[in-house]
Structure 1
């Protein structure tokens, strides 16, 4: 049961603070975002679901866009990278996963948030999961495996190199506005841009 309008807990309810309350709010925001999308996200709904009051939310996130972005980042946790046995196979699988993701209702949430953020650079930076540390991790993992197999040189292990393919795919959605990218575009990004770039980073010749 939620607390009263002043934020005091109901009888028998332990008042949550700090990280515990923040986690509860984010869980509630994630649930609202997943069920209804960003357009229907409100502080009132999140507060009711989290069993808290709007003031507790506003102390942590100044507006619903900031809360929506924080919730999206929770949704976008890094998953286990593929291990197909070849760099080309891993790259294509990562791109295909991202393509399915961005073509889904989850991807629609991301596009809504980008549109809502407009030119607000600070908020847009928070949405750049494709080039952040968390998004670079699976790409650095598959590149590291490629180095171990002799398909790439250690010089390829750079976050900007690692995420080039993902950034190009993101542009198909954000800049060109496509609902989904054809598979031949993913193959073109892999074979015409990504693998040649990796090859140029050192003396090793990918298979």
Structure 2
């Protein structure tokens, strides 16, 4: 999960990420285009994250209840949110590690009291 999020972060920090952020900002007045971009991005990413999470469930590292698209992609959503809400062109790897260690892993493993 960490490697997948690092890869996504590198993509978002690249010229390709610049183009994607530009597209997202320019389609604000075109709700149908924004919906298409969102649907395509979510559909392609969700399958990968569900597969990885399914393997973690099979190994006993995650609860079967976590096999839900929103849970599976929450780390990716948080990463994207960093770019969108902060207007950043690049994100330090430490933020990626924090998203995984402090949010994603506790979510899929369940917090202990």
Question: Runs of 4+ in structure 1 displaced over 4 angstroms?
Answer: none
Q: Which has the larger radius of gyration?
A: 1
Q: Of 50, 75, 91, which aligns to 1:181?
A: 91
Q: Which has the higher helix share?
A: 2
Structure 1 runs not aligned, ≥5 long:
1-90
Structure 2 runs not aligned, ≥5 long:
none
**Post-superposition offset of 1:200:** 3.0
Question: Equivalent residues in 2 for 1:20-169 (5 A)?
Answer: 91-128=1-38, 129-130=40-41, 132-169=42-79
Mapped partners of 1:162, 1:104: distance in 2: 24
For the pair 1:193 / 2:103, whether they are aligned, the reply is yes
**Post-superposition offset of 1:119:** 4.1
1:175 aligns to what SS in structure 2?
A: helix
Mapped partners of 1:121, 1:197: distance in 2: 32
Structure-1-length-normalised TM-score: 0.50
Name the CA shift for 1:161/1:116 in 2 (closer, same or farther; >3 Å): same
Mapped partners of 1:169, 1:111: distance in 2: 13
CA RMSD between the two structures: 1.7
Aligned residues: 111
Mapped partners of 1:95, 1:152: distance in 2: 18
Structure-2-length-normalised TM-score: 0.89
